[in-house]
Structure 1
Amino acid sequence: MQAASSFVNIAAYKFVTFDDTAEKRAAFLEQCQSLGLKGTVLLSPEGINLFLAGTRAAIDGFLSWLRSDARFADIEVKESLSDDQPFNKMLVKLKREIITMKHPLIKPEEGRAPAVDAETLKRWLDQGHDDAGKPVVMMDTRNAFEVDVGTFDNTLDYRIEKFSEFPDVVAQQKDALADKTVVTFCTGGIRCEKAAIHMKNIGYDSVYQLEGGILKYFEKVGGAHYTGDCFVFDHRTALNPQLEPSSVSLTCPACKSVVSPREQLSPAFVAGKSCPHC
C-alpha cells in the first residue's frame, strides 16, 4: 500500500516547435508506462502539455528523460502531492494545438508576452497598481465552470465555454482596457500564455501572463487576493491554496460516484438524490 501523499502530481507545458510528434509518441508512451505513470501527455507542432502522477522516483526519472531533449531542457513543472493516484490510465495524444484557440499556431520562441511572477503580482495587488502606477486588472482565461470553483478577486470573467471563444471576446474589450495593465491567468500557465501573446498581437499595450498560473501562485505566495479553490482536470477536482485536494467535489448518495463541479451544473444533478452518473 502506498504511504500517505506518496503520489507526486505534475503539470507542465512548453510552447516550442515540435515537428516530430508522430515519431516521438511511442517513445513517450513507453517511457511513461515503464515508470508506472498515469495521466495525459499532449504532443503538438506548437509544443507539449502534460499532467502526470506517480512515485517521486518515477516522476524524477521521467523529467530526467524529458529534459535530455534540448527542446525541453528548461521545461518548468508545477508539483502537488496526493494520497491516491488521481488518473485511471496513461494516454499520449497527438493534437494540432496543445490548447485549442483555433488561430494560427503561436510560437513563443519567436517572442513571448511579458510574464509576471507570483511575488510581483501579489505586491501589485497589495498596492493596487503596477510599478508604473497603472491599475492592474486580472483576466481569467478559463472556462466558466472552472472560474466558479475559485478565482482572483475582482477578476474579469467573460463566461466563456471554451478557449476558442476567447479571441473574439478579448478583441471587444481592447478599448475599455487601454489604460490598464492586464494580467492574464489560468490553472498552470498554458492558456494565459497563449492568451497574452494573442492580445499583444492584436494591439494590447500592457499585458502580462501570470508565470506558472494559479498553481505556481499558490505554491509561491498562497491564496492572497484569491477566493475559493483551483479546478484541476483529474479526480481531485480542485486544489486549495495549500495545494491540497479540496472538498469541492461531491459524492452522489445514489450511485457513490464523484460528481465534479462541472457535472453539478448538469440538469441530471439533484443534490442528495441523483447525478449524471446514475
Structure 2
Amino acid sequence: MVCAWTEDFSGYVIDYGCYPDQRRDYFTLRDANPTLLSVAPGTAQEGAIFAGLQGLTADLLGREWQQDGGGILRIGACLIDANWGASTDTVYEFCRRSTFGGVLMPSHGRYVGAASVPFAEYKRQPGERVGHNWRIPSTYGKRACRHVTYDTNYWKTFVFARLTVAMGDRSCLSIFGTEPNRHRLLSEHITAEYPVTTQGRGRTVEEWKARPNHPDNHWFDCLVGNAVAASMLGVHLETGTKIERKRISLRELAERPTARQLAEQTARKQATIPEHMRRR
C-alpha cells in the first residue's frame, strides 16, 4: 500500500495491491494464485520471499508519483512487516542488502494493552530513536539492520480516527476513486478487527480483536504501517493554535528593562496617582 500524507496527517491511499498480481478484484490469502513460490520457481520459501521483495520494491521505490498540482514525489519511507517468524531473518537480510536501504526498514507491531507498560514509559537506551508510540532501537546482534517497533493498538485506533473525519476536514484519511465497489475487499480488510475498550494501571486503551470469519486483515496492517512511517518522517497532528514568536536581536534583548527597573517604574507611576484613586 502506498499513501501520501500532508504535515497535519491528512492522508490519501493512492495505490494498493497484491504481489504477485491476482488479476481479480476479490480473493483471500488462502486461495491466492499465483503465489510467490509459483513466480520464483526453484526456490524455497525464503528465496521466494526474497525474490518477491526485490520485485515489489523495484517497482514501487523506483517509481515517480505525479502530484495533481504539478511536481513529482518518490516514496520517502517503506516499512516491511517482519513479525512473521518464518520470514523475519529474510526481511532483515533483504533490507540490509537492498539498494533502497535508505528508505527500507523492518517493522514490528507490538501489542500494548491497558495493563502493559506504554511506550512513553520505556527507559530510553543509548542510540535509540524515540517517536510518537514508536521507537527505533540501537543495532546489535546478528541482525545488523535497524528496525522500528510500534504500539499496534494505538496506531490502529489512530488510523480509524482518521477514517471518521469528514472529507475535506483537516487530518482526514481518504481513498482514491469514486467507485465504492472497487474497494470492497479493502474495506473488509480494514474492518476485519474491532476495538474493545479496556482499563488497567490507570489507563484506558482500545485493544483490537479479530472478527470471526474475517481471516484477512493485511491491508489494514499496511495502512497502519503507512501511518507509522509518516510519523517517522515528521508528520504529526496539530493539537492547537501555533504561537508566532518574533525573533529579537541581542541589542533589543539588552535594551529590555530588568525586573528591578520594571518595579521602579511601577512605583513611580503609583506615586503620581491621587490617594483616593489608589484606594479604589
Range class of TM-score, shorter chain: under 0.3
Which is higher, the Rg of structure 1 or of structure 2? 2
Q: TM-score, normalised by structure 1?
A: 0.23
More strand per residue: 1
More helix per residue: 2
Higher relative contact order (CA 8 A, sep 6+): 2
Q: TM-score, normalised by structure 2?
A: 0.23
